[in-house]
Structure 1
Amino acid sequence: MTDESAPDGGKALSAGLSERFGTGKLLAGFVVAGVLLYLLVVVAGWRRVIDALEGADYTWVWIACASTIVGLAAWGKAWQIVLAVLDIEVKFKRLVVTYFAATFANYITPLGQAGGEPFIAYILSRDTEANYEDSLASVVTADLLNLLPFFNFAALGLSYLLLRASLPDNAKTLAQGLVILAFGVPAIAYAGWRYRDRVEDIVLGLVTPFASRTSRLTVESVRKRIDRFYESLERIADEPRELLFALLFSYTGWIFFALPLYFAGRSLGLPLGLVLVLFIVPASTLAGLTPTPGGLAGVEAALVVLIVGLVPAIPTGAAVAATLIYRFASYWFVLVVGGLASLFVIMRS
């Protein structure tokens, strides 16, 4: 397949963004998050936070922003490698724009990161010649590849903390969540693969009542889509060398996505070590399940709790300042870049 654009790529993204913006939940989510962030800063002390930010070395802030972009681009490269296994050839400079646009859509949606794969696959299928099943298989595979370094780095940081001293009570819940995910997600993925016939029966059972009420959906068409999806996964699994190559970019992506917190610490002169950051970032990501856009307020609160709990030498005001700088680089800056990418995807169609 080639990388020539399907004419509906921009329309698909535009429609998807309109749907997500039009629910009213987006605005409400940002308002709630804004209030919670305000309360977080108030508790820490406005003057302490502002004083810390005023003394920051903003060269490190822009380095943190660049690190985030490199991390996301590396994940986009891993995605490209997986697509190539399915004979879907897309130029990297084109795919990375699509990836940033899809990331933007997920970042503005409450719980977007928890269920954005179908939307990303839809945009990809409309922006390239890939069919939806191949697109979804590539997205799911890339996400699973990204989970391995996620858990590895978290385990490395957690081991480091346990060797140094006992884990603070306020960090135990997030650590336990990481352990549950480390075993639970692979188990669910394996069960979905091992018992795919059962999964298909369940999906078809859910679809049947709807199919009987409309001519636009049939049980047979859904069955064919599920079969094509699993066939695509089998083709990907048959190329372990390519998957290993993609995994290298997944690890690279996570390193550069975690580094902005280290750079935020450097900008404020805080003792946030690299190994410590490799635990804090994955642990705080669990708070991204907060029902606000991009996990706003939830991630920030988790970061402050973890930083203060794991590094007692860092005062709360400085921890909040470091958190705000990190989230500027890893969230707000990505929103700007992703928003521009979304406009580009819409315009090029």
Structure 2
Amino acid sequence: MTDESASDGGKALSAGLTERFGTGKLLLGFVVAGILIYLLVMVAGWRRVLDALEGADYTWVWVACASTVIGLAAWGKAWQIVLAVLDIEVRFKRLVVTYFAATFANYVTPLGQAGGEPFIAYILSRDTEASYEDSLASVVTADLLNLLPFFNFAALGLSYLLLRASLPDGAKRLAQGLVVLAFGVPAIAYAGWRYRQGVEDIVLTLIGPLANRTSRITLDGVRARIDRFYNSLERIADEPRELLFALVFSYTGWVFFALPLYFAGRSLGLPLELVLVLFIVPASTLAGLTPTPGGLAGVEAALVVLIVALVPTIAPGSAVAAALIYRFASYWFVLGVSGLAALFVIMRS
């Protein structure tokens, strides 16, 4: 790792954060999310929610926070293994800081998680000796590996629910969304791999008008980048044992990312079974596609609806309290930790 690459990493992150913060949409997103969460609590009853939170065992809350950090670190480890296949050796201690820093940028922007891969790859390429194409290939591969446990855990929880009782209408729609994603995402990924020439033609067609207006972008340069990206994917695919090893950490990450909801239930004394949590967390993640920072308000609302629908003995006020505790551990706490990581990456430049 050279001093110059470290400097580029900090500058890349700083520039990326400035670009994302400078639009004014960030502040608007938090304001809108705050209003929606306020309305959610109002509907459930302020007094009921506060009573539930006041009676919580906050030891479990901090356990939930630690679980989330461990989950993210496990995903960072899976990423390191994929990078090693590309002969890119990055110390885990350094890589996990970069991973958290990029996570911060995605967590504070609307729909950041839906399109953050290019930004994460850019930060990685500037903060390490990896090329952008290798970085993007590693990020895409790690994301695809993380999808397998996502769907597996959701299917396990869904199977449990179907065996126990019929799903409520709201939960059915989320379950259908998971089924569509379970088949749709792998199909899109396979099509992108199988018909790579078609993908290249589409990208070049879209880039063409821009390339005609500036000398900074050329069609030959874009074509070469696409070819290097697919070559990187081929190198990764040729190492199934390493991918299996990375998959172990992907599963580990999802377990620790889902556990905070279970711990939130424990802190409030709610009967939230672990197998039920394995369905609720992936299902609520779909609501994270709402156009607010980190899916704020959308995820909370989905959690409340699912908890009340699937566990009728849990009152709405308690469900809201559980959702708030879970989001504190999986979003707000991570936002603080990853913010410090982002600051560190910028300062070490």
Aligned-partner residue type, residue 320 of structure 1: V
Shift of 1:7: 2.2
Q: Residues 114-152 of structure 1, C-alpha deviation per residue, up to 9 Å, x if partnerless? A: 000000000000000101000000000000000000000
Match of 1:157, as an amino acid?
A: G
* TM-score, structure 1 as length reference: 0.99
Cα separation, 1, equivalents of 2:81 and 2:149: 17
- Which 5+ residue runs of structure 1 have no aligned equivalent? none
Measure how far apart 1:37 and its partner are.
0.2
RMSD: 0.7
The residue type equivalent to 1:147 in the other structure is L
Alpha-carbon shift at residue 219 of structure 1 (Å): 0.3
Distance 1:328 1:297 in 2: 12
Structure 2 gap ranges (5+): none
Q: Provide, for residues 313-348 of structure 1, a one-character-per-residue CA deviation record: whole Å limited to 9, x for no partner.
A: 000000000000000000000000000000000011
**Match runs of 1:299-338 below 5 Å:** 299-338=299-338
Pairwise mapping of residues 198-237 of structure 1 onto structure 2 (< 5 A)?
A: 198-237=198-237
**1:247-258 paired onto structure 2 within 5 Å:** 247-258=247-258
Equivalent residues of 2:61, 2:325 under 8 A apart = yes
1:294 aligns with 2:301: no
- Please list the CA deviations of residues 10-30 of structure 1 after superposition, one character each: whole Å capped at 9, or x if unmatched: 010000001100011100000
In 2, Cα distance between equivalents of 1:41 and 1:3: 50
Q: State the alpha-carbon separation in 1 of the partners of residues 134 and 91 from structure 2.
A: 17
Give how far 1:294 is off: 0.1
**What secondary structure, in the 3-state scheme, does the structure 2 residue paired with 1:9 have?**
helix
Partner residue in 1 for 2:162: 162
Equivalent-residue separation in structure 1 for 2:235 and 2:7 (angstroms): 27
Provide the rounded CA distance (Å) in 2 between the counterparts of 1:112 and 1:80: 22
Q: Indicate yes or no: 2:29 matched with 1:43.
A: no
Tell me which amino acid in the other structure corresponds to 1:329.
Answer: A
* Alpha-carbon spacing, 1:8–1:279, altered in 2? closer, same or farther (3 Å): same
Identity %: 87
Q: Does 1:137 align with 2:150?
A: no
**What letter corresponds to residue 205 of structure 2 in structure 1?**
G
Instruction: Give the 3-state SS of the residue equivalent to 1:293 in structure 2.
Output: coil
Contact 2:6 2:348 in 1 (8 A): no
1:174-201, Cα deviation, whole Å (9 max, x unpaired): 1100000000000000000000000000
Any residues of structure 2 matched to 1:1-349 within 5 Å, and which?
5-349=5-349
Residue-by-residue CA offset, 1:290-328 (whole Å, 9 max, x unaligned): 000000000000000000000000000000000000000
Take 1:199 and 1:323, find their aligned partners in 2: how far apart are those partners? 40
Measure how far apart 1:266 and its partner are.
Answer: 0.1
Alpha-carbon offset, residue 215 of structure 1: 0.4
State the number of aligned residues.
348
Tell me which moved more, 335-344 or 167-176: 167-176
> 2 CA distance for matches of 1:105 and 1:214?
29
SS at match of 2:213: coil
What CA distance in whole angstroms lies between the structure 1 residues aligned with 2:48 and 2:213? 61
- Please give the alpha-carbon distance, in whole angstroms, between the structure 1 residues aligned to 2:7 and 2:288: 34
Q: Secondary structure at the match of 2:26?
A: helix
Question: What secondary structure does 1:272 align onto?
Answer: coil
Deviation of residue 92 (structure 1)? 0.2
Contact kept in structure 2, 1:153 and 1:278, CA below 8 Å:
yes
Letter in structure 2 aligned against 1:158? L
Amino acid at match of 2:307: I
SS at match of 2:121: helix
> Separation in 1 of the partners of 2:332 and 2:140?
25
Deviation at 1:6, TM superposition (A): 3.5
Amino acid at match of 2:340: L
User: What secondary structure is seen at the aligned counterpart in 1 of 2:110?
Assistant: coil
| Alpha-carbon offset, residue 170 of structure 1 | 1.5
How far apart in 1 are the matches of 2:169 and 2:232?
A: 44
1:191 and 1:25 map into 2 onto residues whose CA distance is: 34
Equivalents in 1 of 2:338, 2:194: separation in Å?
Answer: 36
Given that residues 6 and 129 in structure 1 are in contact (C-alpha distance below 8 angstroms), is that contact kept between their aligned partners in structure 2? no
- CA deviations 1:13-50 (Å, max 9, x no partner) are 00000110001110000000000000000000000000
1:3 Cα deviation after fit: 7.7
- 1:3–1:90 CA contact under 8 A, matched in 2: no
Segment drifting more, 46-55 vs 163-172: 163-172
Cα 1:128–1:320 shift into 2, 3 Å: same
User: What is the distance in 2 between the residues matched to 1:213 and 1:17?
Assistant: 27
CA distance in 2, matches of 1:266, 1:75: 25
For 1:342, the aligned partner's letter is A
